[in-house]
């Protein structure tokens, strides 16, 4: 045996060049054991993500072979099967589909917005959930420009009645956080049709939610209606075209716009969340959830929103199984369906969890794109925040430095109410990547695989795996 040990380095020198990088990597990285420090395991998690990661290939497959996947569509059904097949390969103890029901809204064909006297139609996209123009025929009306819901509510209804309202408040570029800029103006997209219709308007145009001032892509998103207020059609304009319309209105003061929308809301359809889990050896009844949403809008490929979050979650679980890490608590990956226009995946998951009296102790969501990770937001108690902030030293070498109170995520949000019946001490967390480019691609045709950076995506996967590991080790 002593002779073999002496010969081992020489044997490595002879055969190492012939081995693949991954094989060489594995020679030096055996499975973790109880004597390994947290820092070493996290270092290994990042090494696996960056040298033998599968997330980028999985994202390419999802984007190119499934494509966009609006709830209720055939592509959404394909995505469910895709997620089930991929999760079966990551080493989970069990993989299954959780039946839910989702709304089914369908965009119409040949929809448009035109300015009278200008031949070229404006670049537009109908907002998700919008009704059609009456009888799915072109609607012609004078357009008026406003910058807020308040402006409409305070306006003399006689100046609004029979008009098309153009909401043209841009995202505030002064906000360092682009999500704060988004929150500051998204009310006009979601509630704009309600406020305009209440004043007697017949249609709505909304400036796209992006910081790109001269963008050629219109950005869609969900909108809402009030059952007590007449429903009117609502569309988004590319910022380049919103700027054009604004300039025309400044020149002519009075202008007619023609719009055609023939979208429709069909009957709800059966669908599924896709779930995989590794059962905990010490506290199998306590669950840590990690996930993102499998659906996307029906334009682009849903690469950043939320294909990135889906592969972050799948890869994080694969990294833990690749490390042969057996968790203390049950770790569950959930690929939620229908975040974009109803959140029935998140609501149904929480409802079923409450009915089963499942004890969720933490949930992490990735739904802010595949950009360089910066840290995590924490929606929980002061003790939860202190715990996560105590990870700062071990995670700082990987560029993770943001650990502050904030939003967890839309999909996991419903768990907070249902968990009060079992565990009111639930902690929600959200992965926080660099936000500066997110709204360049959000909800538009440019959200495609080619706009995701491989290394940034892989760093996000490792960050999710590291946080899952640290929570599993430190929560009771």
Kindly report the CATH number assigned to the domain that includes residue 113.
Answer: 3.50.30.30
Are the C-beta atoms of residues 233 and 203 closer than 8 Å to each other? Answer: yes
Strand 427-433 to 359-365 pairing: parallel
Provide CB contacts within 8 A for 255, sequence distance 6+: 115, 116, 142, 143, 248, 249
Structure tokens at 22: 């991954």
Domain that holds residue 99: 32-105+267-474
> Would residue 5 count as lying in a domain?
no
| pTM of this prediction exceeds 0.75 | yes
Are the C-beta atoms of residues 232 and 161 closer than 8 Å to each other? Answer: no
User: Is 288 found in the same domain as 232?
Assistant: no
Q: Is the pLDDT of residue 182 over 70?
A: yes
What is residue 157's predicted lDDT score, i.e. its pLDDT? 94
Q: Give dist(CA 429, CA 242) in Å, integer.
A: 36
What is residue 253's predicted lDDT score, i.e. its pLDDT? 77
User: Is 78 found in the same domain as 204?
Assistant: no
> Would residue 315 count as lying in a domain?
yes
> Would residue 288 count as lying in a domain?
yes
- In the chain, % helix, strand, coil (3-state, to 5) comes to 40, 25, 40
What is the per-residue pLDDT across 261-318, written as a single tens digit (0 to 9) for each?
999 999 999 999 999 999 999 999 999 999 999 999 999 999 999 999 999 999 999 9
Structure tokens at 7: 């010969």
The single-letter DSSP state of residue 17 is G
Q: Is the pLDDT of residue 429 over 70?
A: yes
What is residue 422's predicted lDDT score, i.e. its pLDDT? 73
Query: In residues, how long is the chain?
Result: 476
Q: Give dist(CA 323, CA 58) in Å, integer.
A: 20
> Would residue 443 count as lying in a domain?
yes
User: Is 386 found in the same domain as 351?
Assistant: yes
> Would residue 22 count as lying in a domain?
no
> Would residue 6 count as lying in a domain?
no
> Would residue 2 count as lying in a domain?
no
User: Is 319 found in the same domain as 272?
Assistant: yes
User: Is 446 found in the same domain as 307?
Assistant: yes
Q: Is the pLDDT of residue 392 over 80?
A: yes
- The CATH number covering residue 334 comes to 3.40.630.10
> Would residue 24 count as lying in a domain?
no
DSSP SS3 for 312: helix
Domain boundary among 202, 236, 262: 262
What is residue 40's predicted lDDT score, i.e. its pLDDT? 96
What is residue 346's predicted lDDT score, i.e. its pLDDT? 98
User: Is 417 found in the same domain as 288?
Assistant: yes
Q: Is the pLDDT of residue 6 over 70?
A: no
Strand 256-260 to 139-146 pairing: antiparallel
User: Is 253 found in the same domain as 118?
Assistant: yes
Query: Which residue is listed with tokens 């794109």?
Result: 369
User: Is 447 found in the same domain as 382?
Assistant: yes
Q: Where are the beta strands (DSSP E) in 354-437?
A: 359-365, 373-379, 402-405, 427-433
Q: Give dist(CA 234, CA 193) in Å, integer.
A: 6
Q: Give dist(CA 73, CA 67) in Å, integer.
A: 11
- Total domains, the chain: 2
Residue 404 β-bridge partners: 377
User: Is 461 found in the same domain as 319?
Assistant: yes
Are the C-beta atoms of residues 364 and 429 closer than 8 Å to each other? Answer: yes
CB-neighbour burial class of residue 401 (10 A; exposed 0-12, middle 13-18, buried 19+)? exposed
Q: Is the pLDDT of residue 96 over 70?
A: yes
Domain boundary among 262, 293, 321: 262
User: Is 336 found in the same domain as 358?
Assistant: yes
User: Is 74 found in the same domain as 129?
Assistant: no
DSSP SS3 for 373: strand
What is the per-residue pLDDT across 329-375, written as a single tens digit (0 to 9) for each?
999 999 999 999 999 999 999 999 999 999 999 999 999 999 999 99
Q: Is the pLDDT of residue 16 over 70?
A: no
DSSP SS3 for 74: helix
Q: Is the pLDDT of residue 21 over 50?
A: no
Q: Is the pLDDT of residue 4 over 50?
A: no
Average of per-residue pLDDT across 230-246: 98
What is residue 419's predicted lDDT score, i.e. its pLDDT? 63
DSSP SS3 for 203: strand
Domain boundary among 262, 294, 327: 262
What is residue 32's predicted lDDT score, i.e. its pLDDT? 53
Chain mean pLDDT for the chain? 93
User: Is 401 found in the same domain as 347?
Assistant: yes
């Amino acid at each position: 045996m002593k002779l073999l040990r002496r010969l081992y380095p020489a044997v490595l020198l002879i055969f190492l060049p012939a081995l693949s990088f991954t094989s060489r990597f594995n020679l030096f990285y055996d499975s973790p054991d109880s004597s390994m420090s947290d820092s070493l395991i996290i270092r290994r998690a990042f090494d696996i993500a960056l040298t033998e990661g599968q997330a980028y290939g999985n994202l390419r497959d999802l984007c190119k072979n499934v494509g966009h996947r609006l709830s209720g569509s055939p592509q959404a059904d394909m995505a469910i099967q895709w997620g089930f097949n991929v999760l079966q390969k990551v080493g989970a103890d069990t993989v299954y589909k959780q039946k839910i029901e989702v709304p089914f809204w369908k965009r119409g064909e040949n929809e448009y917005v035109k300015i009278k006297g200008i031949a070229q139609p404006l670049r537009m996209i109908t907002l998700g959930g919008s009704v059609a123009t009456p009888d799915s025929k072109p609607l012609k009306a004078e357009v008026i420009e406003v910058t807020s819901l308040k402006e409409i509510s305070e306006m003399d209804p006689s100046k609004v009645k029979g008009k098309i309202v153009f909401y043209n408040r841009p995202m505030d570029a002064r906000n360092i956080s682009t999500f704060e800029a988004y929150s500051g103006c998204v009310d006009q997209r979601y509630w704009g049709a309600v406020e305009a219709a209440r004043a007697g308007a017949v249609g709505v145009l909304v400036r796209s939610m992006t910081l790109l001032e001269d963008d050629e892509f219109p950005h869609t998103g969900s909108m809402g209606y009030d059952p007590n207020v007449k429903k009117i059609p609502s569309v988004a304009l590319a910022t380049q075209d919103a700027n054009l319309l604004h300039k025309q209105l400044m020149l002519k003061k009075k202008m007619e716009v023609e719009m055609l929308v023939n979208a429709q809301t069909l009957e709800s359809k059966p669908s599924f969340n896709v779930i995989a889990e590794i059962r905990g050896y010490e506290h199998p009844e306590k669950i840590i959830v990690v996930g993102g949403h499998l659906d996307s809008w029906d334009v682009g490929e849903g690469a950043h929103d939320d294909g990135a979050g889906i592969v972050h979650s799948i890869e994080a679980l694969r990294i833990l199984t690749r490390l042969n890490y057996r968790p203390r608590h049950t770790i569950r990956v959930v690929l939620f369906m229908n975040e974009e226009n109803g959140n029935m995946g998140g609501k149904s998951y929480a409802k079923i969890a409450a009915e089963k009296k499942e004890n969720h102790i933490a949930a992490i969501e990735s739904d802010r794109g595949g950009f360089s990770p910066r840290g995590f937001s924490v929606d929980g108690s002061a003790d939860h925040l202190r715990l996560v902030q105590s990870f700062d030293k071990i995670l700082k070498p990987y560029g993770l430095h943001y650990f502050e109170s904030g939003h967890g995520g839309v999909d996991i949000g419903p768990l907070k109410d249902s968990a009060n019946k079992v565990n009111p001490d639930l902690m929600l967390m959200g992965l926080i990547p660099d936000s500066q480019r997110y709204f360049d691609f959000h909800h538009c045709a440019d959200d495609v695989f080619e706009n995701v950076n491989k290394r940034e995506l892989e760093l996000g996967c490792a960050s999710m795996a590291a946080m899952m590991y640290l929570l599993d080790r430190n929560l009771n």
